Amino acid sequence: MLKAIKVINAAVKPIALWSFLIGTSLLTSCKSNRLYDAPKVSTFRGNRLPAPPGMVYIPSGTIFYKSSQDSSDVGKNVSLSAFFIDETEVTNKQYRQFVNWVADSIAVVDYLEDDQYFLEQAADDSNDVKGERLIDWSVVKKNSPLWQNKNPEIQEKLRPLMTMKGGKRVLNQELLIYRFSYLKMDGINNNQYVTDTVHVMPVDNIWSKDFPNAQMTAMDANYFDHQSFDYNPVVGVSWKQARAYADWRGKEIMASLQKNSYLKGYQLTFSLPTEAQWQYAAEGKLDPTDTIRRTRLTIKDRKSDKKKLAVNFKQGEGTYSRDGSTFTVPVKAYTPNAFGVYNMAGNVSEWTLDAFSPSAVEFVNDLNPVLLYDADDNASYALKRKVVRGGSWKDNGGMLDSDTRNYEQQDEAHSYIGFRCVMSAFEMTTPQVKTRKYKN
């Protein structure tokens, strides 16, 4: 072939040679190379993508992002790309699964050291150092939680992992730690990965700490552990603990995807929602021209035609129970918004990913905005503030609007703050971008 080209090159002009080479290339590759055969764009059939378990799809959209909680007219429009969000706040039952996973990990690696709980290694695999062998979770989960196993031999081996409290054998919360890595954002080392260590147990007497002159011992003793509160939102969890749970949950979801899942193979982020994502999901606006940001506190009953409270909040001084509960309610109480998300107002306030600044809108982008700052544990009070949204069961109606901003210290926990998670998603093809014939 090269000899033929040389002969032609001596006999024809450069332009003719170029045409010949192009033609030859097309003839030899047209059957296998479809590089330039892009399909026309058609509309996605359906109004939302299939979501991971317990989540809903939020399409891309726009919100008005306020500058501060004191000014309703200072801010700017920002756009959010599509994402998945938990349809409910994380429940006690869901968070207990995280605690049990951590406890099982420690039990298998540090105390039981039983080969049945580890994946078999290849003959040439020398990776047998304690703590580096991979746990066979298919076996562990059949017996989880291991610390509740009735086998006397296992109970004896796990004795160091346990402690006595109120006459009951419970997990030693000081030993229950979760390690995860993330890209630290502190204005100095924004490209440095760090590993954080977090104690995972919620504060066990959080109700009495928040309400010291009230009878809360029954809530302290039962709220996180008793099955009657399984589907109430977990509380007593700090921002750092919520972030640890989100890291674990993302890994669990990706590991459990079926082989035919359309999400398989993608690298998707999983975290707490940004402040803007939270607000957009809370507003539930199917109509992008809607400018109302005030939460509906009541809803009209179809049968009686009377208005009923539709949010769990404090209705006035000393008035907590008119909405149906004195404290929190199950996470699927009341009616979901237009996106299918429950209790974005009331029940519990919710942690977001953002650091708090009264003028955050001045610093963030107008596309997928977020203000990240990972403060050290010994940092000043102002640097450790994280945004809390939504209002809670102990807040009045004015705290429940979708754009009302508040904050709390990243290492503090309360009986009125919970959280939910988000996962990155992809935009659906809409009629707006469908390929059409040009018409003048």
pLDDT tens column, 136-181: 999 999 999 999 999 999 999 999 999 998 888 899 999 999 999 9
Q: Is residue 440 part of a domain?
A: no
- pLDDT of residue 125 exceeding 60: no
Q: Which of 391, 384, 385, 394 is nearest to 350 (CA)?
A: 391
pLDDT digits (tens, 9 = 90+) for 249-292: 999 998 888 877 888 888 888 999 999 999 999 998 866 666 66
User: Which two three-digit tokens encode residue 397?
Assistant: 């109606």
- How many C-beta neighbours within 10 Å does residue 67 have? 18
Q: Is residue 190 part of a domain?
A: no
Termini Cα distance of the chain: 50
Q: What is the pLDDT of residue 433?
A: 82
User: Based on the number of CB atoms within 10 Å of its own CB, is 93 exposed (0-12), middle (13-18) or buried (19 or more)?
Assistant: middle
Residues 10 and 153 in one domain: no
Residue 192 lies in a domain: no
User: Do 280 and 408 have their domain in common?
Assistant: yes
Under 8 Å between Cβ of 134 and 119: yes
Number of domains in the chain: 3
Kindly state whether residues 247 and 314 are assigned to the same domain: yes
Domain identity same for 102 and 67: no
Instruction: Give yes or no: residues 310 and 375 share one domain.
Output: yes
Do 99 and 234 fall into the same domain?
Answer: no
Place of tokens 């998670």: 421
Give tens-digit pLDDT for 382-413: 999 999 999 999 999 888 989 899 999 999 99
pLDDT at 425: 92
Residues 219 and 280 in one domain: yes
Domain range spanning residue 128?
92-176
pTM for this predicted structure: 0.87
pLDDT of residue 303: 64
The verdict on 102 and 145 lying in the same domain is yes
Strand partners, 418: 350
What Cα–Cα distance (Å) separates residue 163 from each residue in 34, 155, 386?
Answer: 65, 12, 33
Provide the 8-state DSSP code for 147.
Answer: G
pLDDT value for 235: 98
CATH number for the domain including 295?
3.90.1580.10
155 vs 112, 147, 160, CA distance in Å?
Answer: 10, 7, 10
- Among 11-20, 148-157, 301-310, 395-404, which is the least confidently predicted range? 11-20
The number of CA neighbours under 13 Å toward the Cβ of 73 is 0
* 168 φ, ψ (degrees, to nearest 5): -115, 150
Residue 315 lies in a domain: yes
User: Are residues 131 and 150 located together in one domain of the fold?
Assistant: yes
Within-domain flag for 181? no
Residue 6 pLDDT: 41
